[in-house]
């Protein structure tokens, strides 16, 4: 009898832990790269809305959907596609490390290749991302749009109170008709904090606050034998993440700390992003 009770208690604890991991995994910062992955058999459906605002009423918006599946505890695949996009007066930019900012289909594979316990209730993790994009438009800002390959990596530390992630990525576009979109080199830094009052047990609302920074070096677009444009930007700002049961809501705003925009492109004044995710299993 006692062994049955122990087994039942252990099974219940395992289910609770896995459920908590699924609710909290796969999400952290809004703009920056992070290490969490979905658990085995877990799904998440993300709906993202972003806005870029620049000088002279320049504005771009994006509404995109991303579907993610956890193959194993450390391996996941995702695909994202646009529902609505508008505006093209700002320089090319990648706002979110794990979701393209352009009108294209994107696929990513994420593999958490390192995870180890550090002290009590803390861990160190590293995840690599590999994928690519296929454009829906023939041209993008006057340049013939081709598919791209991308690779990224994130490493960091997470505990009940503090979160630190450092990440980077490279997106390289293929030539089309003698033209090529400039490749993107992206770096991100994220610090997160969860106040003591919010470190509650599983099943209650979980609120976390972040400070995020992104730095992008965008190579010039190539048109024939001529290179044109190119930009460098650094953005910094506050974001937050609210987790409750099977829903995650995250959002924030970034402000420019440095930018060198393409010639003829408006300078950016702020970036806003909101993402709503729903976690579920398919039986």
194 and 159 in contact (C-beta within 8 Å)?
no
pLDDT at 225 over 80: no
Tokens of 199: 């470190």
Query: Looking up tokens 């809305």, which residue turns up?
Result: 49
Helical (H) or strand (E) element with 254:
strand 247-260
Give the percent of the chain with pLDDT over 90. 60
What is the average per-residue pLDDT within 246-259?
A: 96
pLDDT at 6 over 50: no
2 confidence band (pLDDT: 50, 70, 90): very low
pLDDT at 146 over 80: yes
46 and 68 in contact (C-beta within 8 Å)?
yes
CA terminus-to-terminus distance, the chain: 31
- Beta strands 42-54 and 59-70: pairing type? antiparallel
pLDDT at 90 over 90: no
Encode pLDDT of 173-201 as tens digits.
Answer: 999 888 999 999 999 999 999 998 877 76
pLDDT at 205: 86
- The Cα–Cα gap between 250 and 254 comes to 14
pLDDT at 26 over 80: no
238 and 270 in contact (C-beta within 8 Å)?
no
Encode pLDDT of 258-275 as tens digits.
Answer: 998 766 677 899 999 999
Burial of 88 (0-12, 13-18, 19+ CB in 10 A): middle
pLDDT at 263: 65
pLDDT at 111 over 60: yes
Could you give phi then psi for residue 261, rounded to 5 degrees? -90, 160
Alpha-carbon torsion (161, 109, 132, 153), positive or negative: positive
Q: Strand, helix or coil at 280?
A: strand
Domains of the chain are 2-281 (2.40.160.40)
DSSP letter for each residue of 78-146 = EEEEEEEEE---BPP---BTTB-SSSEEEEEEEEEEEEEE-SSS-EEEEEEEEEEEEESSSEETTEE--
pLDDT at 34: 94
What is the average per-residue pLDDT within 75-103?
A: 87
């Amino acid at each position: 009898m006692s062994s049955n009770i122990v087994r039942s208690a252990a099974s219940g604890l395992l289910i609770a832990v896995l459920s908590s991991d699924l609710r909290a995994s796969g999400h952290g910062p809004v703009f920056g790269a992070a290490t969490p992955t979905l658990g085995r058999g877990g799904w998440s459906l993300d709906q993202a809305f972003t806005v870029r605002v620049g000088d002279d009423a320049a504005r771009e918006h994006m509404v995109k959907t991303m579907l993610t599946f956890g193959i194993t505890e450390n391996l996941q695949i995702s695909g994202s596609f646009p529902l609505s996009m508008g505006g093209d007066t700002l320089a090319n930019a990648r706002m979110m490390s794990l979701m393209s900012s352009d009108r294209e289909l994107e696929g990513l594979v994420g593999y958490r290749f390192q995870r180890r316990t550090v002290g009590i209730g803390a861990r160190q993790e590293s995840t690599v991302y590999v994928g690519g994009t296929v454009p829906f438009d023939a041209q993008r800002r006057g340049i013939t749009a081709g598919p791209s390959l991308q690779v990224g990596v994130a490493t960091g530390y997470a505990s009940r109170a503090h979160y630190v992630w450092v990440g980077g990525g490279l997106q390289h576009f293929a030539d089309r008709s003698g033209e090529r979109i400039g490749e993107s080199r992206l770096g991100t830094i994220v610090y997160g904090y969860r106040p003591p009052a919010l470190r509650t047990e599983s099943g209650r609302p979980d609120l976390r606050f972040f400070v995020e920074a992104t730095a992008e070096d965008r190579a010039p677009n190539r048109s024939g034998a001529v290179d044109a444009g190119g930009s460098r930007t650094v953005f910094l700002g506050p974001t937050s993440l609210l987790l409750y049961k099977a829903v995650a809501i995250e959002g924030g705003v970034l402000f420019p700390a440095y930018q060198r925009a393409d010639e003829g492109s408006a300078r950016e004044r702020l970036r806003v992003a909101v993402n709503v995710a729903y976690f579920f299993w398919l039986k």
